[in-house]
Structure 1
Amino acid sequence: MTSVKTAVRADLLDFTADPGLADLNSPAVRFRPDHWLLTDERGRIAAVQPHEPGDDFLKLDRRGQLLLPGFIDTHVHCPQIDVIASWGAQLLDWLETYTFPAEARHAEPEYAAAGAKLFLDALLSHGTTSAVVFPTVHRSATEALFDASTQRGMRIIAGKVLMDRHAPDNLRDDVDGSEMECRALIKDWHGRGRIAYALTPRFAATSSDAQLAMAGRLLAEHPGVYMQTHVAENPAEVRWIAELFPSSRSYLDVYASHGLLTERSVLAHGIWLDDLDRALLHDSGAQIAHCPSSNLFLGSGLFGWREAREAGFNVSLGSDVGGGTSLSMHRTMADGYKVQALAGTKLSAWALLHAATRAAAVALRLPHEIGFLEPGCAADFCVWDWAVGSVAERRHSVARELHEKVFAWITLGDERNLVESWVGGLRRYQRI
């Protein structure tokens, strides 16, 4: 499907810089009410302007609605749609009881293909146009995710999950086999369309030293490849890692010692870190994907966003479905506000929205492509209603200024507010 020149008239909101954590009047906020967003035949943003374009554009009037860059979910599990909203477990029990059985079903190619399509369409129906994704240990399931994302034109960063120990027999691989499959997947898929490969050790406990070292070698050999994993999510997990890797100073140090911390490393959670860990994140350029909904649901702890800010490392947001309870970045942002309030920090709407758009793009080294409403970037954007339902509509009507309106939109909104999602200049979701 080829993009056509399109012009959308709406209230445009994005960021030109980091707005900080609590500045309600940050100059980094760029709000352009009643403007036109123009896209070209390549599926990129051509211009943003206040006046109506010529008749060579397909014109869509969305006046009174909010237009944002598509959300970027930096930590989510494709196969865990099947276990979302499951009762009663903490992290390690969650894996054994829910996650591993669900992921084993993706060994069947047809099941995995159907699951990948459902997952990506669900992202789009929640306003997420780019994501960093865990599939399963199966090469065929990883290829199914890549194939489905190619069909939708989405920016997806993913890779076959690595697990050669402490996992069920039907989900374990081995070092030589996993290296062969990763090399083949990188060759076939990395840089194809909008796909990027990520070396994906599930977490340190499920990979041997040899497998972690192998992933580190591949990361060094293939510039542009990412690494994604979990770190310091749960106290029991942290204690287990210390037993498994007694020579490492910390959980994070396990990854550093195997060459897995780079500016393209995305580590989910990072709750139980110390000052040396935070300095290591800063020095490596890695980012933490903060997953507040999952952290609350599994009782994992409170991430220190202010401490991250003081240490100077990147923070983005992940829904972490299925530990998280929704693919909605609205709910993720709202839970992020609550988590930080409990930790003693009151975040602005701008800090939350920035983390789900521009901050993620910058941390992923993709600001030229996603997260901005800037000429040359991919035309990945979403149109939203400011308010849905009598309570939200009333709150919006009495809000006094822009920050108040956006904070209410984050707190009271969800996927019901979404009007349409565009990827590469093509409308991929429209509310019926």
Structure 2
Amino acid sequence: MSSVIATTAIRGRFLDIQNTVAQARDIHDQVRYVEDGLLISQNGKIQWFGTWQDGQAHLPAQVDVQHYPDQLIVPGFIDTHIHFPQTEMMGAYGEQLLEWLNTYTFPTELQFSDPAYAKTIAEFFVHELLKNGTTTALVFCTVHPESVDALFEAASNYQMRLIAGKVMMDRHAPDDLCDTPERAYSESKALIEKWHGKGRNLYAITPRFAPTSSPEQLKRAGELKAEYPDVYVHTHLSENKSEIEWVKALFPAQKGYLDVYHHFGLTGNKSVFAHCVHLEDDEWNCMHDTDSAIAFCPTSNLFLGSGLFPLHTAWEKQVKVGLGTDIGAGTSFNQLQTIQEAYKVQQLQGNKLSAYEALYHATLGGAKALDLDQTLGNFNTGKEADFVVLDLKTTALQQLRQSRAKSLEDALFALMLMGDDRNIHATYVYGQRVYSTC
């Protein structure tokens, strides 16, 4: 796809959150709804945004206006934790985390040493993201550099912003899936040089989780982060109670699970830790103090029986949180379905998740978790033009429910609790339509 993109003009109903917030209660004040709006993008960036009445004067000559009068346009969904090699093993039955990895995940990931196979799954994966309205994702690959190449190449075809990295893993896994501390370092370094900052691609240093990396490998990962402070760190943390006990036995010199990563220099404002279901109080404090972020993965946590993530504590501790689908322990690519389960997880803890807070976590809050909130997440001028056109009434039941909606917030909540990929009418990446039901 050409790096020079024509001007795009979109008219319709727009909804976003204008600014990042420190507490959930502040989100309502930042909701922006334009009943009849216009968004003009040029070369992938938002050039103008406002009402249709005001915007007509800004329309370049001979630009076709794409009009969505009956839909709702929101910023592109951001997935802060997902595994592309696990796409084909979604819905694998009957295990909790550690058994699930050994029974299903590792055998599946062995196939990605084949570049042709990796290419096929990467292209399917990227299309599935776009079909579900996800325009940015933080992605696990496998230990094979070929898997990273395949994913970034597939994303580059759409000028899609992806953050991804090669898994670092040198123990407690099949031999053919293990590297070494030095190989993990050198292969990751080469991939950083090849992909980070090229187009919209960004790299993440990716130790799978502490038990599958030796102290020597984590040390090399920390050295890599020190050499390339602008790259991300992406790993798992405190997903499962058995996992936590295993980490404590493997790393007795550290105070706990998070302290393992912190000790090796892997916390920070571009470090994203998936799950964090069972953090201890000092770990919450460390997350806040280091400006690290959490990927909340409700469908995965419920599917594997890992536990209920305490979103209210993240707000209290002012720790950044984004939503993650965590395919393939997660059960849907779709962020609407992820929100459905996030709502239920909070209900089970006696807390609520409003429609606007859910939208925040799926868009601007996710961008903040990825340290991209100056670039993505809403319709502010100058940001990258990634957005989704939602159809609120794709089924007879949705039509009936929406006809009874008392407010915009009620309509959005009903969509989130009843929606799925059928509600994604169109997806735009960098100002261009890359998926449509039409």
Report the 3-state secondary structure (helix = DSSP H, G, I; strand = E; otherwise coil) of the residue aligned with 1:296.
Answer: helix
Aligned counterpart for 2:16 among listed residues 14, 17, 22? 14
Aligned counterpart for 1:189 among listed residues 184, 190, 195? 195
Measure, in 2, the Cα distance between the counterparts of 1:56 and 1:367. Answer: 32
- Which residue in the other structure is 1:72 paired with? 78
- Which residue in the other structure is 1:134 paired with? 140
Report the 3-state secondary structure (helix = DSSP H, G, I; strand = E; otherwise coil) of the residue aligned with 1:373.
Answer: coil
- Which residue in the other structure is 2:267 paired with? 261
- Which residue in the other structure is 2:31 paired with? 29
- Whether the 8 Å contact between 2:23 and 2:318 is mirrored in structure 1 is no
Cα deviation for residue 351 of structure 1 reads 1.1
1:354 and 2:356 correspond? no
Give the alignment's TM-score, normalised by structure 1.
Answer: 0.97
- Whether the 8 Å contact between 2:22 and 2:318 is mirrored in structure 1 is no
Cα deviation for residue 113 of structure 1 reads 0.7
- Which residue in the other structure is 2:108 paired with? 102
Measure, in 1, the Cα distance between the counterparts of 2:302 and 2:27. Answer: 29
Paired amino acid for 1:113:
K
Paired amino acid for 2:180:
D
Measure, in 1, the Cα distance between the counterparts of 2:414 and 2:144. Answer: 42
- Whether the 8 Å contact between 1:22 and 1:347 is mirrored in structure 2 is no
Give the alignment's TM-score, normalised by structure 2.
Answer: 0.96
- In the alignment, structure 1 segments of 5+ residues that lack a partner are none
Aligned ranges 1:28-177 → 2 under 5 Å: 28-40=30-42, 42-50=43-51, 51=53, 52=56, 53-177=59-183
Report the 3-state secondary structure (helix = DSSP H, G, I; strand = E; otherwise coil) of the residue aligned with 2:29.
Answer: coil
Report the 3-state secondary structure (helix = DSSP H, G, I; strand = E; otherwise coil) of the residue aligned with 1:26.
Answer: helix
Paired amino acid for 2:5:
S
Distance 1:33 1:267, change over 3 A: same
Measure, in 1, the Cα distance between the counterparts of 2:282 and 2:373. Answer: 28
Measure, in 2, the Cα distance between the counterparts of 1:174 and 1:102. Answer: 21
Cα deviation for residue 17 of structure 1 reads 2.6
Cα deviation for residue 369 of structure 1 reads 1.9
1:314 and 2:320 correspond? yes
Measure, in 1, the Cα distance between the counterparts of 2:354 and 2:180. Answer: 46
Q: Deviations over 1:41-85 (max 9, x none)?
A: x11111113223354322111012111111000000001011101
Measure, in 1, the Cα distance between the counterparts of 2:136 and 2:306. Answer: 26
- Whether the 8 Å contact between 1:20 and 1:351 is mirrored in structure 2 is no
Measure, in 2, the Cα distance between the counterparts of 1:24 and 1:45. Answer: 25
1:397 and 2:403 correspond? yes
Cα deviation for residue 368 of structure 1 reads 2.6
Measure, in 1, the Cα distance between the counterparts of 2:122 and 2:27. Answer: 41
Cα deviation for residue 426 of structure 1 reads 1.3
- Whether the 8 Å contact between 1:21 and 1:348 is mirrored in structure 2 is no
Paired amino acid for 1:382:
V
Report the 3-state secondary structure (helix = DSSP H, G, I; strand = E; otherwise coil) of the residue aligned with 1:247.
Answer: coil
Aligned counterpart for 2:310 among listed residues 304, 310, 323? 304
Q: Deviations over 1:320-347 (max 9, x none)?
A: 0000000000011111010011112111
Aligned counterpart for 1:387 among listed residues 379, 382, 393? 393
Paired amino acid for 1:428:
V
Cα deviation for residue 24 of structure 1 reads 9.7
Report the 3-state secondary structure (helix = DSSP H, G, I; strand = E; otherwise coil) of the residue aligned with 2:28.
Answer: coil
Measure, in 2, the Cα distance between the counterparts of 1:21 and 1:96. Answer: 39
Paired amino acid for 1:45:
I
Measure, in 1, the Cα distance between the counterparts of 2:75 and 2:50. Answer: 16
Report the 3-state secondary structure (helix = DSSP H, G, I; strand = E; otherwise coil) of the residue aligned with 1:49.
Answer: strand
User: How many residues are aligned here?
Assistant: 431
Aligned counterpart for 1:221 among listed residues 219, 227, 240? 227
1:424 and 2:438 correspond? no
Aligned counterpart for 2:343 among listed residues 337, 342, 358? 337
Paired amino acid for 2:118:
A
Distance 1:297 1:237, change over 3 A: same
Aligned ranges 1:200-279 → 2 under 5 Å: 200-279=206-285
What fraction of aligned residue pairs are identical, expressed as a percent? 44
Q: Deviations over 1:248-278 (max 9, x none)?
A: 1111111001110011000000011111000
- In the alignment, structure 2 segments of 5+ residues that lack a partner are none
Comparing 88-97 and 367-376, the one that deviates more? 367-376
Kindly report the root-mean-square deviation, in angstroms, between the aligned alpha carbons of the 2 structures.
1.3
